[in-house]
Amino acid sequence: MQDYDYSSGGAYFITICTKNRENYFGEIADGAMVLNEWGKIVFDGIKNIENYNEFSSVDEFVVMPNHLHLIIMVSYRRDNSGIVSTEQNVGIVSTTTMKTAENRNNRRNMLIPKIVGKFKMITAKQINILKNSVGNKLWQSNYYDRIIRNEDELQRIRKYIIENPLKWEFDKNNTENLFM
């Protein structure tokens, strides 16, 4: 999102698509996602996002044949034990804005783009090793993000993620639906 401070705490809904929306990660069978070997790498990669940064955690997520949805929680608060808390951040929206010219450079230093970039790099590298290829693009260059502004929105997005495999037949990311 232009002019948003991605270093702010809060909840973020992220969608990442494969290059050309190729179905790389498995298939939908009876309303459930069946991961193939590449899909399992992506699944494990999402589970490992929490290891990238001490201030982030993954809430709900789903790996689909050619994309994934996840909620990343970011918090900069710690309790006395040193544990980072991610609760009560939904709806906290930074009022900090940046000049558009600075936005591109500053965004690279912000947490969400760093997390997404690292996730994409690690999973692409692991899959390219399996494919016995080097440097092939797995992911689209960009990704979609949405700041989750309140608890109701968080619950709606969680439901959307959970039900996503059930609605694959009508999903806009399903390449079979491009000409419907």
pLDDT digits 0-9 by tens, 69-78: 999 999 865 4
Q: Which string of b and e fits 72-98 if b means at least 16 CB within 10 Å? A: bbbbeeeeeeeebebeebbebeeeeeb
Ranges of residues in the chain whose predicted pLDDT is under 70: 1-8, 76-109, 177-180
Q: What is the pLDDT of residue 100?
A: 43
* Two tokens, residue 101: 């010219």
Asked if residue 23 lies in contact with residue 89, where contact means CB atoms within 8 angstroms, the answer is no
pLDDT score for 71: 98
At 92, list the tokens. 């906290």
Determine the pLDDT at residue 11: 95
Structure tokens at 142: 């960009």
pLDDT of residue 171: 74
Question: What CATH fold (topology level) applies to the domain 10-165?
Answer: Alpha-Beta Plaits (3.30.70)
CA distances for 1 relative to 4, 99, 103, 143, 147, angstroms: 6, 13, 10, 11, 9
At residue 173, the pLDDT reads: 74
The per-residue pLDDT for 160 is 97
pTM above 0.75, yes or no: yes
